[in-house]
Amino acid sequence: MRITTHFSRVFCTVTAALIILGCSPKPVVSRPTEPTADPSNADPSNAESSNAESSNAEPNNGLDLTVLAPLDDELASTTTAQNKAQPDDRQPSSAASNTVRFLAWNVESGGNDPAVISEQLATFQGYDVICLSEVSQRNFERYASALLNQYHEVHGDTGRADRLQIFVKKERYDLLASKELSQHRDHILNTGNHRSPLFVRIRDKQSKQDVIVMTNHLARGNAEFRQQQAAGLREWARDQNVPVIALGDFNMDYDYRTMKGNAAFEEMVRDNVWSWLAPDDFIDTNWSDRDGDGNDNYPDSMLDLAFAAGAAKEWGIECRVIVRPNDFPDDQSTSDHRPIELVYTR
Ligand SMILES: [Ca+2]
Ligand SMILES: [Ca+2]
Ligand SMILES: [Ca+2]
């Protein structure tokens, strides 16, 4: 896929900032020294077991989302002062810029140190929308704080320890609505043990353009249900009348040796309702070493993907996998997923 000069410049400056800031996924912060106790935890095929083992499903009406209250002024001013010491690339994007940047990142609830994730998240403040998956409920406010109260915050009530969370830059967007999508027409998207797709409808304050941004963490262990979820997402997108961008961990096992995804991927892209936003370079997005031999068991695959529907298909959105120094293999302090980013010009 073509990389524009502008995009290259944006990426280079962001990458340089990350390197300058020492944005290693392994900061020297309260990191356990023991390796992953159970290698199966790192196996995508088992990643959902922690969700399925609990039978006391939480109520899910698919509608009631909690938006965190703004941080108190003292905390905001303190962290803002700290932020001023950072290079410009870490500053919130200017509303005047025509470059729009989204980020999606599975932070591996249960396999991370939230202090380390927060530190890394703070380096992503230039993004306009940040979509997280596998967020523990107890870390919602912590991650919002890491982003200095610069974002509207929305999170899902489903998924138990592996929830979805979306941050929307206040400077650029108004948050019009948010919803967890447990069902669309006859399509069930959450039987109770899964994460309901989470989306926000936002309005660009300058252009007045509305866009729906959805994030997902589709079923891992149940391929048949994942395929049903993908079909539901396709039919939901077909019914929308504003541009839609979806990004997250779709568990669609896109293998770039065969250039194919699993059945859910095929279901998702059927009928050309969604356009897959293929990355500029095919880079593995998930570290999984279930046999503990130090090698990724799925070295050439992507679980983290992005799609556009409606008018957003024509926006020339570029997708890139973010690779940071020493990000893989991960450990108990870091995520086993690489973030992906989307960049386009409004
Ligand atoms: Ca980890
Ligand atoms: Ca291995
Ligand atoms: Ca992999």
39 belongs to a structural domain: no
Can you tell me the distance from the alpha carbon of 343 to that of 346, in angstroms, rounded to the nearest whole number? 10
Ligand 2 geometric centre to CA of 260 (Å): 22
Evaluate whether 252 touches 238 at the Cβ level (below 8 Å): no
CA distance readout (Å), 227 to 89, 219, 250, 251, 254: 39, 9, 10, 10, 14
Residues of the chain with pLDDT > 70, as a percent, come to: 72
49 belongs to a structural domain: no
Evaluate whether 70 touches 141 at the Cβ level (below 8 Å): no
Ligand nearest to the CA of 34: 1
Ligand nearest to the CA of 329: 1
Q: What is the pLDDT of residue 209?
A: 97
Ligand nearest to the CA of 301: 3
Can you tell me the distance from the alpha carbon of 107 to that of 93, in angstroms, rounded to the nearest whole number? 23
Q: How many structural domains are present in the chain?
A: 1
Question: Closest Cα partner for 229 from 240, 214, 244?
Answer: 214
Instruction: Enter the pTM of the model.
Output: 0.77
Q: What is the pLDDT of residue 73?
A: 36
Phi and psi for 267 in degrees, rounded to 5? -65, -40
Burial class (CB in 10 A: 0-12, 13-18, 19+), 86: middle
* CATH number, domain with residue 198: 3.60.10.10
Ligand 2 geometric centre to CA of 41 (Å): 12
Evaluate whether 339 touches 249 at the Cβ level (below 8 Å): no
Mean pLDDT over 62-81 rounds to 38
Question: Closest Cα partner for 289 from 36, 31, 26, 117?
Answer: 36
pLDDT exceeds cutoff 50 at 81: no
Question: Closest Cα partner for 334 from 294, 287, 290?
Answer: 287
CA distance readout (Å), 69 to 84, 151, 331: 23, 11, 32
Ligand 1 geometric centre to CA of 72 (Å): 31
Q: What is the pLDDT of residue 93?
A: 54
Ligand nearest to the CA of 288: 3
Higher pLDDT, 100 or 62: 100
E strand map for the chain:
99-106, 129-135, 151-155, 163-169, 173-180, 183-184, 187-188, 198-204, 210-217, 244-255, 274-276, 301-309, 318-321, 340-345
35 belongs to a structural domain: no
54 belongs to a structural domain: no
Q: What is the pLDDT of residue 66?
A: 43
165 belongs to a structural domain: yes
pLDDT exceeds cutoff 50 at 50: no
224 belongs to a structural domain: yes
Ligand 3 geometric centre to CA of 285 (Å): 6
pLDDT band at 237 (very low <50, low <70, confident <90, very high): very high
Ligand 3 geometric centre to CA of 299 (Å): 4
51 belongs to a structural domain: no
Residues with CB under 5 A from ligand 3 (ion): 284, 286, 296, 298
Ligand 3 geometric centre to CA of 145 (Å): 30
Q: What is the pLDDT of residue 94?
A: 60
pLDDT band at 95 (very low <50, low <70, confident <90, very high): low
Name the range with the highest mean pLDDT among 14-23, 78-87, 90-99, 284-293: 284-293
At residue 135's C-alpha, the angle toward residues 137 and 48, to 5°, is: 105
33 belongs to a structural domain: no
Ligand nearest to the CA of 42: 1
**What tens digit of pLDDT does each residue of 51-64 get?**
333 333 333 333 33
Phi and psi for 304 in degrees, rounded to 5? -100, 120
Mean pLDDT score of the chain, rounded to an integer?
Answer: 81
**What tens digit of pLDDT does each residue of 158-198 get?**
999 999 999 999 999 999 999 999 999 999 999 999 999 99
Cis peptide before 329 (omega within 30 of 0): yes
Residue for token pair 């077991």 = 49
Helix (H/G/I), strand (E/B), else coil: 281: coil
E strand map for 225-300:
244-255, 274-276
Q: What is the pLDDT of residue 181?
A: 98
Q: What is the pLDDT of residue 78?
A: 34
Can you tell me the distance from the alpha carbon of 289 to that of 294, in angstroms, rounded to the nearest whole number? 6
As a whole number of angstroms, the longest Cα–Cα distance in the chain is: 53
Residue 183 domain boundaries: 5-28+59-345
Ligand 2 geometric centre to CA of 46 (Å): 14
Ligand 1 geometric centre to CA of 177 (Å): 33
Ligand nearest to the CA of 295: 2
Ligand 3 geometric centre to CA of 46 (Å): 14
Ligand 1 geometric centre to CA of 66 (Å): 27
